[in-house]
Amino acid sequence: MNRYPLWKYLLIITVVVISTIFALPNIYPSDPAIQITAVNDKPVDEALAKRLSALLAEKKIPEKEIDLEKGKLLLRFDQPNVQLNAADVIKDELGKQYVVALNLAPATPKWLRSIGAKPMYLGLDLRGGVHFLMEVDTSAVIDKNLNPFVRDIKDLLRSKSIRYSLVARKGDTLVAKFKDANAAEQAFNALNSEFRQQLDITQDSTGLEIHAVMNNKTLTEIKRFAIKQNIVTLRKRVNELGVSEPIIQQQGLERIVVQLPGVQDTARAKEILGATATLEFRMVDEQNSPFQAKSTGRVPASSKLYEERNGNPILLKRSVMLQGDSIIDASSTFDQNNEPAVSITLDSKGAKRFAKVTGANVKKLMGVVFIETKITTNMVDGKKVAEKVTTEEVINVARIQEQLSKRFQITGLDSTKESRNLALLLRAGALAAPVYIVEERTIGPSLGQENIDNGFTSVKIGFILVLIFMAIYYRVFGLIANVALSLNLLLIVAALSIMGATLTLPGIAGIVLTVGMAVDANVLIYERIKEELRNGVTPQTAIKLGYERAVSTIADANITTLIAAIVLFMFGTGAIKGFAVTLAIGIVSSMFTAIMVTRAIVNKVYGNRRVNKLSI
């Protein structure tokens, strides 16, 4: 009566085997490691690995293992103090040609790594690392977005044939001046019709001036979009640190939280995260000599003096043809001569303007300016003062061969890596505003280890107490439930590892809660079996009815809890999401083990034979 078909046993065995394999990496500790990546096109190969190995041997610094994969070199060590000594030696040897980052690398055996088995990622509270609270420079956001309005207002007035004497910015206010009240009135109506969604527009008492400021809705949208762009850019930059599962999320309207588990080199992290970059497209001033302007210091009023990568001066027009916020896509590619290039796609507004400007400047030179802003902190009179340092560099000068519109290419790049980096910058960092760190916390690995030990101790205690209770109260059936509970923990760990989820202290709390909840289904089933036995049915019938009649109750209880976990994940942040993930996985795995696995074991123990009494 109580027998399973062969396919169900095979399914259970398959799940157990796969779960065991993918849970195995979690028993191996992490190694203190140094990750080396190239800044430009410097080679990261076997030759570099042998060179560093020889260097460490010369300095009598023993390395555990050297791995080379996907353009990165990973050196593993046995002790953190050996790792730190090796990092100092390697940095002195490689200089600024390579990024040398401290990290903690999983010690998973190669045969497990070859099939994609990885350990769970540990959160900041378990692994240690750094926490940054970064604030967006809102004044820079406003400044960046006000300038285009000056150009747009001028274009609108010209298109309406409205004469004006001045359109300019005064602080955060846009000012338009007119010689007669009639022109001012026409301009006021035109501006209100065109920009009332973005600007608050007023006339002064003379009726000859119009003032416009960004309204609150526009400011909020600009800040929100700038934060989103910054988050994308920061995620890309964090990859340079080799951080597994970083947490980068918005906090309020002007701040970003960055958590980097396992990072020990906080100075390098601050250097990478603090920089902000953008691009501008400008026409080259070919009428004046840049060398003369540099030597005399006399720069034409309509131009600005820059330097190319080779150090040569170059004059570019002050008027910006195109800014990065018009770019909706960019990808690394090759031009017709098989040289590295970047393919760019613009939005409709940017394409329209770019087509107009480039169409009027065919056969003339255009420059691409890379602008990077870093926030440095200096001590002034005993207080920390944040200071913006901006560098501008012309990374590309090309002649416009034809009118450009929605899609075009940037050529003349030095390498494929530069084209990939430029494409990445165009996609992700176009509108990123300067940010500065307002709060920094470092959590040491020892404190993280203490959290891990305490968390797993709580799991062990809860697990053992449940095992003892079930074994005493339900006897043989209790032991079967204990087997299922052990498998349930294995499934949770395997699922977290396969998903690449991050385990935090709240996640451990979710596992502890799951341990207690996992036996609920078995308690319901076993009590139902005991009730059927009291009603006088045979043991085999009691087993069958107990499982069949308890399933609907178990499903209802677990589905409602699963819905709550999904809601927590959707609307929660950070730690709450971690709790929701482990809880949801625990619910699904406990239903599988409590219903299907225990039934399979009970069928093997009691099925297909006469039974007069159940040990329950």
Q: 278 with 399, same domain?
A: yes
29: Cα separation from own chain's centroid:
25
Q: Looking at the domain assignment, is residue 112 inside a domain?
A: no
Q: Looking at the domain assignment, is residue 239 inside a domain?
A: no
Average pLDDT over residues 366-377: 74
Residues 249, 257 contacting (CB under 8 angstroms): yes
Q: Which residue range(s) make up the domain with 350?
A: 265-442
Look up residue 205 and give its DSSP letter. Answer: T
Residues 341, 335 contacting (CB under 8 angstroms): yes
Average pLDDT over residues 250-271: 74
Reported confidence tier of residue 491, pLDDT bands at 50, 70, 90: very high
Average pLDDT over residues 474-487: 89
Q: Looking at the domain assignment, is residue 122 inside a domain?
A: no
Of residues 89, 101, 108, the one with CA closest to residue 30: 108
Q: 35 with 64, same domain?
A: yes
Q: Which spans in 25-137 are helix H?
A: 46-58, 80-94, 110-113, 124-127
Q: Looking at the domain assignment, is residue 229 inside a domain?
A: no
Asked whether residue 240 carries a pLDDT value surpassing 70, the answer given is no
Q: 351: Cβ–Cβ under 8 A, 6 or more apart, which residues?
A: 326, 405, 406
Q: Looking at the domain assignment, is residue 288 inside a domain?
A: yes
Residue 500 φ/ψ region, left for φ over 0, alpha for ψ in the -120 to 50 degree band, beta for the rest: left
Looking at residue 94, its pLDDT comes to 82
Q: 10 with 77, same domain?
A: no
Looking at residue 430, its pLDDT comes to 45
Residue 575 φ/ψ region, left for φ over 0, alpha for ψ in the -120 to 50 degree band, beta for the rest: alpha
CATH number, domain of 593, equals 1.20.1640.10
Residues 605, 4 contacting (CB under 8 angstroms): no
Asked whether residue 374 carries a pLDDT value surpassing 70, the answer given is no
Average pLDDT over residues 154-178: 87
Query: 121-122 and 502-503 as β-strands: parallel, antiparallel, unpaired?
Result: parallel
Q: 101 with 149, same domain?
A: no
Q: 318 with 390, same domain?
A: yes
Q: 103 with 160, same domain?
A: no
Burial (CB < 10 A; 0-12, 13-18, 19+), residue 456, is middle
Asked whether residue 315 carries a pLDDT value surpassing 90, the answer given is yes
Asked whether residue 189 carries a pLDDT value surpassing 60, the answer given is yes
Looking at residue 95, its pLDDT comes to 73
Asked whether residue 103 carries a pLDDT value surpassing 60, the answer given is yes
At 573, give phi and psi (nearest 5°).
Answer: -135, 155
User: In the chain, pLDDT over 70 holds for what percent of residues?
Assistant: 87
Reported confidence tier of residue 144, pLDDT bands at 50, 70, 90: confident
Q: Looking at the domain assignment, is residue 246 inside a domain?
A: no
Asked whether residue 327 carries a pLDDT value surpassing 80, the answer given is no
Q: Looking at the domain assignment, is residue 114 inside a domain?
A: no
Looking at residue 330, its pLDDT comes to 75
Q: 404 with 431, same domain?
A: yes
Q: 318 with 214, same domain?
A: no
Number of domain units in the chain: 4
Average pLDDT over residues 551-574: 84
Out of 331-345, 379-393, 575-589, give the one with best mean pLDDT: 575-589
Helix (H, G, I), strand (E, B) or coil at 373: strand
Sheet order of strands, 383-399 included: 303-307, 313-323, 275-284, 365-380, 383-399
Neighbours of 216 (CB within 10 A): 9
Residue 92 corresponds to which amino acid? D
Residue 338 φ/ψ region, left for φ over 0, alpha for ψ in the -120 to 50 degree band, beta for the rest: left
- Residue that wins the pLDDT comparison between 202 and 347: 202
Q: What whole-number distance in Å separates Cα of residue 608 and Cα of residue 544?
A: 13
Q: 441: Cβ–Cβ under 8 A, 6 or more apart, which residues?
A: 130, 131
Q: Looking at the domain assignment, is residue 614 inside a domain?
A: no
Looking at residue 431, its pLDDT comes to 42
Write out the DSSP string of 213-244. EE-HHHHHHHHHHHHHHHHHHHHHHHGGGT-S
Q: 212 with 287, same domain?
A: no
Q: 296 with 426, same domain?
A: yes
Q: 584 with 472, same domain?
A: yes
Q: 403 with 472, same domain?
A: no
Average pLDDT, the chain: 81
Reported confidence tier of residue 216, pLDDT bands at 50, 70, 90: confident
Give the tens place of pLDDT for each residue, 563-597. Answer: 988 998 887 766 787 788 888 998 899 889 888 89
Looking at residue 14, its pLDDT comes to 94
The tokens for 451 are 């959290």
Of residues 392, 390, 395, the one with CA closest to residue 376: 390
